[in-house]
Amino acid sequence: MPFIPHTKDDIQQMLATINVTNIQQLFDEIPKDLLTADLSSLPPGITEMELMREMRECANQDAGLQCFIGAGAYEHHIPAAVWDIVGRGEFMTAYTPYQAEASQGTLQLLYEYQTMMARLMDLNVSNASLYDGASALAEAILMAVRIQRKHQSHRVLIPRTLHPYYRQVIHAIVSQQNIELIEIAFNEKTGRTDQKALAAFDKQEITALVIPQPNFFGVIEEVDLLTDWAKTQNAIAVAVVNPLAMALLKPPGQWGKTGVDIACGEGQPLGVPLSSGGPYYGFLTCKKEHVRQLPGRIIGRTVDAEGKQGFVLTLQAREQHIRRAKATSNICTNQGLLVTASTIYMSLLGPEGLQQVALASHHQLRLLKEKIAQLADVKILFSSPCFHECVLQFKTPVKKILQTLATHRIQGGFNLQPGYPELGECLLVCVTETKTSEDLEQFVRRLREAVSAVREVCV
């Protein structure tokens, strides 16, 4: 199909039809500071060759760095076979599998993915992915509201131990739909959701309770107590989990007496590289009784007239297929290529391999905490058990410590001060199975030097 651009007369005729004088008026709802990106770092009139060189130099800034940042995106070893297979044309260029007879390979892969995720969460049903973990949680909340449609009000309890970026995203997506998001405080000694703060909502009408595991601080939450509390309030229990951690910890389907209703999260730890910021994908699973409220696609296995196995799009309650007002979501697109990577990753490692990765990551964190405990002016903040992340508290500005570590090509962690000012100068540090004993020794040595150097400057 040839591309034929609109002429100026065409554009003016279309604008006149809708009583608009210029194209910019079509975007007047967008804040001015978001309309254009700041490209002041690039000279005007730059050529394609010069731009490509600039981009390569920017990309090289991430190369060879020791990364101790987690905060929802994690560095794990990915077997070479994963992306070699993902790069095959059948997967790389595949389109949405609307025609089952021409898409059996893609449909079978998505079916296998759903099966693996459902088993990992110990729940009945999984969809075929969403944009990312944050939007998956927003969809889970909207799903909970539909399940609780008889409620007079829609109040959802959100622990402050949930990722601050997730809290921002769900507020942006659901706050205009008469859904009240109520933040629940955490205990400053344990780093867990405060049970006393939760008790203030006893016998009130609550639509859903969000339960992170591990929480943003890396702390293991008391998920059994939280899930059972939600059930006593007739609230939907929504788990937000690190899927890799579920290979080691109790899965959401086994929390409390009856398990959670919905589990979601970010799938990036399962075979997706960091890639300087994405793309990622979100997963969403639930109990079978809620399947009709689950957004996105669900792939099913069946047999044809000859008794041969086949795969089909069983449920796809999207606006492309049904009336928009009846659709469960309008943003439930499938991140198919990344799901392909996760399916291959989980297939190669298997249950024991996933558990070994999680155990190795946890072991490395324990080693790091032992070494950091010997440092002066550095405190491990929370007393609760953690999974491959922990919070360090300093007497000197964390921002300056990170800047000093960066001069040694070390990404030292995630600064918690902007999101949790009540904690003071705190740093969220992550280690996975990719770190060696030498890496940990170097990090602790450089951290000691950075703290000392910043303290001298501040004094």
**For residue range 409-446, what is the model confidence (pLDDT) as tens digits?**
999 999 999 999 999 999 999 999 999 999 999 999 99
Asked if the structure places residue 170 within a domain, the reply is yes
Residue 212 CA to its chain's centroid (Å):
11
The pLDDT tens digits of the residues spanning 258-282 come to 999 999 999 999 999 998 888 899 9
Residue 298 counted as domain residue: yes
Tell whether 20 is covered by a domain: no
Does some domain include residue 33? Answer: no
Q: Amino acid letter at 308? A: K
Do 257 and 398 belong to one domain? no
Quote the CA–CA distance of 113 and 109 in Å, as a whole number: 6
The whole-number pLDDT of residue 325 equals 67
Say whether pLDDT at 76 is over 80.
yes
Find the CATH number of the domain harbouring 441. Answer: 3.90.1150.10
pLDDT of residue 314: 85
**Do 141 and 277 sit in the same domain of this protein?**
yes
Residue 181 domain-assigned (yes or no) = yes
Confidence of residue 331 (pLDDT cuts 50, 70, 90): low
Q: Helix or strand or coil: residue 229?
A: helix
* Pair 218, 356 in one domain: no
CA triplet 422, 427, 431: central angle to 5 degrees?
A: 145
Do residues 286 and 387 both lie within one domain?
no
Look-up: residue for tokens 């399962």?
A: 270
Write down which residue in 301, 322, 345 finishes a domain. Answer: 345
280 and 133 fall within a common domain: yes
The answer on 159 and 302 residing in a single domain is yes
Residue 125: is its pLDDT beyond 60? Answer: yes
The pLDDT value given to residue 376? 86
- On whether both 436 and 301 belong to a single domain, the answer is no
* Whether the predicted pLDDT of 370 surpasses 70: yes
- Are the C-beta atoms of residues 89 and 180 closer than 8 Å to each other? no
Say if residue 195 is in the same domain as residue 288. yes
Higher pLDDT pick, 141 / 304? 141
Q: What is the pLDDT of residue 55?
A: 86
Both 261 and 402 in one domain: the answer is no
- Interacting residues of 445 by C-beta distance below 8 A, sequence separation 6+: none
Lowest mean pLDDT among 3-17, 230-244, 355-369, 423-437: 3-17
Residue 386 is assigned to a structural domain of this protein: yes
Q: Same domain, yes or no, for 309 and 378?
A: no
**Which range marks the domain in which residue 398 is found?**
351-451
Q: Are both 236 and 286 inside the same structural domain?
A: yes
For residue 404, the SS3 value is helix
Average pLDDT over residues 246-253: 96
Asked whether the beta carbons of 221 and 161 are under 8 A apart, the reply is yes
The domain that holds 274 is classified in CATH as 3.40.640.10
In the listed set 276, 310, 345, which residue is the last one of a domain according to the structure? Answer: 345
pLDDT at 184 over 90: yes
Number of domain units in the chain: 2
Predicted confidence at residue 378, as pLDDT, reads: 92
Q: Is residue 392 a contact partner of residue 423, using CB atoms and an 8 Å limit?
A: no
**Which of 45-59, 224-238, 319-333 shows the highest mean pLDDT?**
224-238
pLDDT of residue 320: 58
What token pair was written down for 275?
């890639």
Summarize pLDDT for 25-43 with one digit per residue, the tens: 888 888 877 777 677 777 7
Task: Report the alpha-carbon distance of residue 161 to residue 217 in Å, rounded.
Answer: 7
Q: Nearest CA to 111 among 93, 126, 90?
A: 126
Q: pLDDT band at 1, cuts 50/70/90?
A: low
Structural domain ending residue among the three candidates 324, 345, 366: 345
Which amino acid makes up residue 264? Answer: C
- Asked if 228 and 146 sit in the same domain, the reply is yes
Any domain includes 25 = no
